Amino acid sequence: MRLFITGGAGFIGSNLIRYLLEKTNDKVLNLDKLCYPGSRHTIEGFNDQPNYQFIQQDLCDSEQLVDVVNDFQPDAIIHLAAESHVDRSIDSPQAFIDSNIVGTFNLLEAFRKYFTDSDNSLQRQLRFLHVSTDEVFGSLSDGDEPTKEQDSYKPNSPYSASKAASDHLVRAWGQTYKLPILITNCSNNYGPYQFPEKLIPLVISKALADKALPVYGDGSNIRDWLFVDDHVHALYCVLNKGKLGDTYNIGGNCQLTNLELVGKICDILDVLKPKETSYKEQIEFVSDRPGHDYRYDIDISKIQTELEWSPYESFDSGLMKTISWYIENQEWCDNVCFDIYDGQRLGLGS
C-alpha cells in the first residue's frame, strides 16, 4: 500500500512507521510540521529507507495539503498528527484548536477531493484512519463499567474537547460525503520515543537526575496503559480489516493508579540503576491540575472479537523495555528537549 501518515515524527507515528518499514513493503509518506512533539531526531533513521519520504508541513496549510495528497496518490491516510499534552492544552488551548480541529478539517477536505476525483476501483480500496483517544469519553468513577465505542462523549479538558471535535468531523464526513473512514480511540500509550514531558519518561528522567518525582494530588488517578508496539499493530489491523464507518477501542487491559505506576518505575530503576536509597524516596506529591479526570477504562472486546487483536505485551515486560530504552538513549532525550525548550539543554525532567 501507499500510506500517507500525518504526525509521523511524533511518538506513536514514528513507532508506526518503524513497524511498517521493518515488517511490510508499504510505501510511506510522513507529513509532520516538526513542532512539539515531533522531532527530526526521532525519524532520522528512516531517511535512507527506499520506501520512505518526508515532507515538513503544517496541516493548517490547506492548499499545499491538497497538492501533497494528489501527488502521492495514497491508498490510505492514517491521521495521527495532534497536539496531545493535557497540561499544555490548559495553558495554551489555541494550538489545540488549530492543530486538532482545523488541521483535521483540512485533511478531510483534501481527502474528499482526492476521493471524489478517483475512479471507482481506487475509491473501493481507499481508507481514512483517524487515531484518537479514550479521553473523549470523560472520567469514570470506581464502579463504572469500561467505556464502549457507542458511549457518549464527555470531554473535560481543551485537549480532549479538541479530539472529540475531530472525531465528530471524521464521522460526519463519512456520513455526509460517504468517505471510507475508520476511527480508533486508544488508552495511554508508553514506550520508546515518547516525548519526555509525558508521565513515564518524565519520571524516569527525573529519577536518574536525582530530582523530585512529581505526582499530582494523592496519586489515585487511574489510567489504562498500552504498549506502543501493541497499538501500532492494532492500527494496522484496523486499517486492513476494520469495517468502514466503525470505531474501535484499543487498550492494554492494565489499570494502574499514578502512584502505583511511579512505584513500579522506581522498583525497576532500583534494579537497573541501583543507588544507596530507593528511588521511591524521591516521590513528591504536588497540587492537582485543573479538570484532572479521575479514571479512564475502555472496553476492547469489539476489536478482540471482530478483528482478533489483543495486546501482546504485559505491562511489566513493556515497562522494563521502556525504562531500559530511556537509560540507553539519554542523548535522544537531551536532543529533543534542546530543540523544544528555547535552545536550552534542559534534559529530561527539567
Residues with Cβ within 8 Å of residue 314, at least 6 apart in sequence: none
Produce one character per residue of 34-63: b if its CB has 16 or more CB atoms within 10 Å, e if not: bebbbbebbbeebeeeebbebbebbbeeee
What are the extents of the domains in the chain?
A: 2-192+226-251+295-313
| Structure confidence at residue 141 (pLDDT) | 94
* Among 114, 159, 190, 193, the one annotated catalytic: 159
C-alpha cell at 232: 501500532
Task: Give the angle subtended at the CA of 164 by the CAs of 113 and 152, to the nearest 5°.
Answer: 120
Task: List % helix, strand, coil for the chain (3-state, nearest 5).
Answer: 45, 15, 35
134 labelled catalytic: yes
Q: How far apart are CA 225 and CA 22, in angstroms?
A: 25
Distance of CA 282 to the CA centre of its chain: 28
Nearest to 188 by CA among 295, 80, 321, 104: 295
Cα atoms in the 13 Å half-sphere on the side-chain side of 108: 24
* Among 135, 167, 197, 293, the one annotated catalytic: 135
* Among 32, 58, 83, 134, the one annotated catalytic: 134
Contact 204/268 with Cβ under 8 angstroms? no
| Structure confidence at residue 76 (pLDDT) | 98
Produce one character per residue of 68-97: b if its CB has 16 or more CB atoms within 10 Å, e if not: bbeebebbbbbbbbbbbbbebbbeebebbb
Produce one character per residue of 8-24: b if its CB has 16 or more CB atoms within 10 Å, e if not: bbbbbbbbbbbbbbeee
Question: Running DSSP on this structure, what letter comes out for residue 75?
Answer: S
pLDDT tens, position by position, for the chain (350 residues)? 999 999 999 999 999 999 999 999 999 999 999 876 678 889 999 999 999 999 999 999 999 999 999 999 999 999 999 987 787 888 889 999 999 999 999 999 999 999 999 999 999 999 999 999 999 999 999 999 999 999 999 999 999 999 999 999 999 999 999 999 999 999 999 999 998 888 999 999 999 999 999 999 999 999 999 999 999 999 999 999 999 999 999 999 999 999 999 999 999 999 999 999 999 999 999 998 887 899 999 999 999 999 999 999 999 999 999 999 999 998 888 888 765 544 333 333 32
Q: How far apart are CA 88 and CA 95, in angstroms?
A: 9
Nearest to 255 by CA among 290, 281, 226: 226
Fold of 2-192+226-251+295-313: Rossmann fold (3.40.50)
| Structure confidence at residue 308 (pLDDT) | 98
| Structure confidence at residue 338 (pLDDT) | 60
Q: Three-state DSSP class for 266? A: helix
| Structure confidence at residue 346 (pLDDT) | 33
